[in-house]
């Protein structure tokens, strides 16, 4: 068997793009060269690694087993190239993922500080909800993820990264903003604009309201905190978002925090890694950088 790095590169590109022509563009090959590389890889393996649906290729069970190993080999090859580069600076790319609140309000400063220390390293960031980010690790699309919800998948290593809390808020002219004390019944009578199901924020909120005496009236469900805040400011309802997302509006008085001591809105933010994943040099350095943000342990 004589599998080449180029064949593995094409395989990984097709797994990502699910199309040979688009994968060929990523690998800077002609479509015919990419097709030949895949055909030769499958010939040497004596097994198909994709199921074909017209022009779309989806990883089959064999391909899913091969993908993390192929990506690991390509990472190690990249490290060898960096080791003997003329500049002798460690380079490479790390693919990170973060759920929406973390990706928008915490990770940018973290990545900025890391890039200043390691200018030859590139960090890609994918943002989505918690469920999507967990799946991206399982599919080997990303090397590390930061999420707002709890992950109990047996193939994922999860550890506490930071603490956070959610805040119920309304515009200053909302009737609830003028009340000295908020009752559980007040929340039932209000109109709500919430994050979408599958987000960590929504998961914590749903647990917190389980014992409220009624069902909330949910007017809108949106995937982005910024859109939710705009709708709340326009008077369409109240919301429950991370204090990180609401900090600027609360400080400027554009939104008002509604005290809800009867709701448990505290939560942890988590760092996730795929169990058994090869720790490349760039991943090890990034984890060291992230350690500065970890909470103190007892």
* Domain-embedded: residue 241: yes
Letter string b/e over residues 74-93, b meaning 16 or more CB atoms within 10 A of that residue's CB: ebeebeeebeeeeeeebbbe
Distance CA 64, CA 278 (A): 16
Q: Taking CA 69 as the corner, what is the angle to CA 199 and CA 136, rounded to the nearest 5 degrees?
A: 10
* Domain-embedded: residue 274: no
* Domain-embedded: residue 21: yes
* Domain-embedded: residue 223: yes
Give the pTM.
Answer: 0.72
Q: Is residue 298 predicted with pLDDT exceeding 50?
A: no
CB-count burial class (<10 Å; 0-12, 13-18, 19+) for 238? buried
* Domain-embedded: residue 286: no
Q: Token match 């580069």: residue?
A: 85
pLDDT digits (tens, 9 = 90+) for 135-162: 989 888 899 999 988 899 999 999 999 9
CATH of the domain at 13: 1.10.10.10
Q: Is residue 90 predicted with pLDDT exceeding 90?
A: no
Residues 80 and 172 in one domain: no
Residue 297: what pLDDT?
Answer: 42
Residues 176 and 261 in one domain: yes
Mean predicted confidence (pLDDT) in 242-258: 96
CATH of the domain at 233: 3.40.190.10
Q: Is residue 185 predicted with pLDDT exceeding 70?
A: yes
Q: Is residue 168 predicted with pLDDT exceeding 60?
A: yes
* Domain-embedded: residue 17: yes
137, two tokens: 């690790």
* φ, ψ dihedrals at 83, nearest 5°: -60, -35
* Domain-embedded: residue 188: yes
What is the number of domains present in the chain? 2
Domain of 39 in residue numbering reads as 1-88
């Amino acid at each position: 068997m004589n599998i080449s790095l180029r064949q593995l590169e094409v395989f990984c590109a097709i797994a990502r793009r699910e199309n040979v022509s688009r994968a060929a563009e990523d690998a800077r090959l002609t479509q015919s060269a990419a097709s030949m590389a895949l055909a030769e890889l499958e010939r040497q393996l004596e097994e198909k690694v994709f199921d074909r649906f017209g022009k779309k290729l989806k990883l089959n069970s064999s391909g899913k087993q091969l993908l993390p190993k192929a990506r690991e080999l390509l990472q190690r090859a990249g490290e060898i190239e960096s080791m003997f580069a003329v500049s002798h600076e460690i380079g490479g790319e790390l693919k990170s993922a973060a759920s929406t609140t973390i990706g928008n309000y915490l990770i940018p400063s973290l990545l900025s500080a890391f890039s200043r220390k390691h200018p030859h390293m590139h960090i890609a960031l994918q943002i989505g909800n918690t469920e999507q980010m967990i799946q991206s690790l399982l599919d080997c699309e990303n090397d590390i993820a930061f999420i707002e919800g709890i992950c109990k998948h047996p193939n994922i290593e999860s550890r506490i990264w930071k603490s956070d809390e959610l805040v119920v808020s309304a515009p200053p002219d909302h009737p609830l903003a003028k009340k000295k004390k908020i009752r559980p019944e007040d929340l039932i009578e209000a109109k709500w604009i919430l994050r979408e199901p599958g987000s960590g924020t929504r998961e914590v909120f749903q647990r917190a309201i389980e014992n409220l005496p009624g069902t909330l009236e949910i007017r809108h469900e949106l995937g982005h905190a910024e859109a939710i805040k705009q709708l709340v400011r326009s008077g369409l309802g109240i919301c429950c978002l991370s204090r990180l997302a609401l900090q600027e509006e609360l400080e400027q008085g554009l939104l008002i925090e509604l005290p809800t001591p009867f709701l448990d809105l505290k939560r942890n933010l988590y760092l996730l890694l795929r169990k058994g994943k090869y720790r490349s040099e760039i991943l090890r350095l990034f984890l060291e950088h992230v350690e500065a943000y970890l909470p103190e342990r007892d």
